[in-house]
Amino acid sequence: MLKNYARKTVKFSALAVLLLICSCQIVLATESSVSVSPQTITASPQERFTVEIIVDPAGSEVFGAECTIHFDNTILKAIEQSKGDFLSQDGAETIEVANNINNELGVVEYGETRLGDPEIIGGATDSGVLASITFEAIGSGRCDLELESILADAAAQEIDAVVNGGTCIIEGEGVTVTVTNTETPVSTEPESTSSVTETPGFVVFSVIIGLSLASFLIYNRRFR
């Protein structure tokens, strides 16, 4: 009798563990993400190449987004940065709240938010390109593309997501860029040694500005 009880207990425990693992995998699979893309780029020295910042909401409604890339300025030089169509994918109006390149610090920043009544336009729900950054190889060696990002909903609340950074290797005749999944939550505070002088999470503040501007425009239209 004791043996039967023990066997049932083991089977029940094994089933519980299996269900827990499956649940965790489902959660991970549906979590929002921000990633550098494509995973691999090969180029010749002095050649320019472009990487894209891809946002996958995974069911969330994204109203505002921010990303920051840190890179080694002795190996790479940021040439230009352009907005993508992620936040305007459904025709919504947007406004850039940051579009900065600082090669002295080795930092590229981008921030954007949708405009309008959040209850009417909602947030972006399909995957898309937030921003595109063009680099030029100016040195040799290994260079990590350290990506930080924050996503926000219409209420200016942060959306949990994972961030996938990258690595750039410049050797001899070519340049190779490989994305590495760091699985860093976007809500993680930047290290105190970071060279970025912006206040962490400025996109949330920017979203609030956007919402305020949208409300102001709607108010003027109603009482004009």
What pLDDT score was predicted for residue 12?
Answer: 45
Structure token digits, residue 65: 């987004």
- Mention every residue, 6+ apart, whose C-beta is less than 8 A from residue 35: 53, 54, 56, 147, 163, 164, 179
Q: One digit per residue, pLDDT tens: the chain, 224 residues? A: 545 544 554 444 444 444 444 444 444 447 999 999 877 777 778 889 999 999 999 999 999 999 999 999 999 999 999 999 999 999 999 999 999 999 999 999 999 999 999 989 999 999 999 999 999 999 888 899 999 999 999 999 999 999 999 988 887 655 555 655 555 444 434 443 333 334 445 545 454 455 545 554 544 454 45
Nearest to 122 by CA among 149, 153, 95, 97: 153
CATH number of 32-223: 2.60.40.680
CA distance 205 to 224: 28
What pLDDT score was predicted for residue 94?
Answer: 97
What pLDDT score was predicted for residue 211?
Answer: 55
What pLDDT score was predicted for residue 137?
Answer: 92
Burial string for 25-48 (b: 16+ CB within 10 Å, else e) reads eeeeeebbbbbbeeeebebeeeee
What pLDDT score was predicted for residue 67?
Answer: 98
CB 161 within 8 A of CB 130: no
The three-class DSSP label of residue 73 is coil
